[in-house]
Amino acid sequence: MEADERTERGERILDAACELLLAWGYRRVTADEIARRADVGKGTVYLHWKNKDALLLAVVLRAKAADHRRQVERMRADSRNILPSRGLRASLLDFMDDPVLRALYLDDSDILGRLNDVAKKEMAELVAMSTETLRSQLVDLRAHGLVREDLSVDQQMYVCMATATGYFQAEVLFPERAPAPPEERADLFCHSIRTALEFHGEPDPRATAAAAPGIITRYARLEELSRQEVRRRLRE
């Protein structure tokens, strides 16, 4: 029970830190305010986290872990979601729905402050693994005839990352030009990636079923790495 109570208390502190980070930004958030919001003593916050940076970085890492978990769940529910067009469509919807992910992907200094630089340094391994996971995914899809081969793998990676950056940034830079329903914007993103990389028509279900296990395993590793990074910042 004690371990369960500690876990529940740690999640409550993370929830409070997340709410305050988004409402006030990194500079204004204090351990005192986090403790008050979580209904614990200030000393209890430091029983779990060695300092404010470790706690707020865990907020970001938890959001990334949840993002990877959703990706894995979608792939397990429907193997067609291993395709870049479908996976990135869902990622854009996640981005629009999760303010922590938005702040992270957009380098929002008003929210993240110096935590942005800390996150880039501390999350370097996770970012590198994410890049390698995308590369391996494209290699597997090519091997199963699910994406075209008129571009190299590296060129296809660049198309995915550059197009994603454009759609994510456009949510902030050109909000008045975006179609109102989020799903329509996500559909346009899906169409852009499908046109650039994939074949017309529905994918072969046997091919997606064959390619899915390896791709799902790699994304599950990403989720676990994110969760390990959250745990690493906890005081033992």
Residue 157 domain-assigned?
yes
Q: The domain spanning residue 5 has which CATH number?
A: 1.10.10.60
Same domain, 38 and 98: no
Same domain, 40 and 144: no
Instruction: Give the per-residue pLDDT at 171.
Output: 82
Same domain, 224 and 164: yes
Residue 67 domain-assigned?
yes
For the whole model, what pTM was predicted?
0.89
Same domain, 113 and 205: yes
Domain residues for the domain of 15 are: 1-48
Tokens encoding 67: 């993002």
Summarize pLDDT for 143-158 with one digit per residue, the tens: 999 999 999 999 999 9
Residue 146 domain-assigned?
yes
Tell me the C-alpha distance between 174 and 50, whole Å. 40
Residue 35 CB coordination number (10 Å): 19
Number of structural domains the chain divides into: 2
Positions in the chain short of pLDDT 70: 1-3, 235-236
Tell me the C-alpha distance between 213 and 135, whole Å. 16
Instruction: Give the per-residue pLDDT at 1.
Output: 41
Residue 159 domain-assigned?
yes
Which CA distances in Å does 26 have to 22, 55, 226? Answer: 8, 11, 21
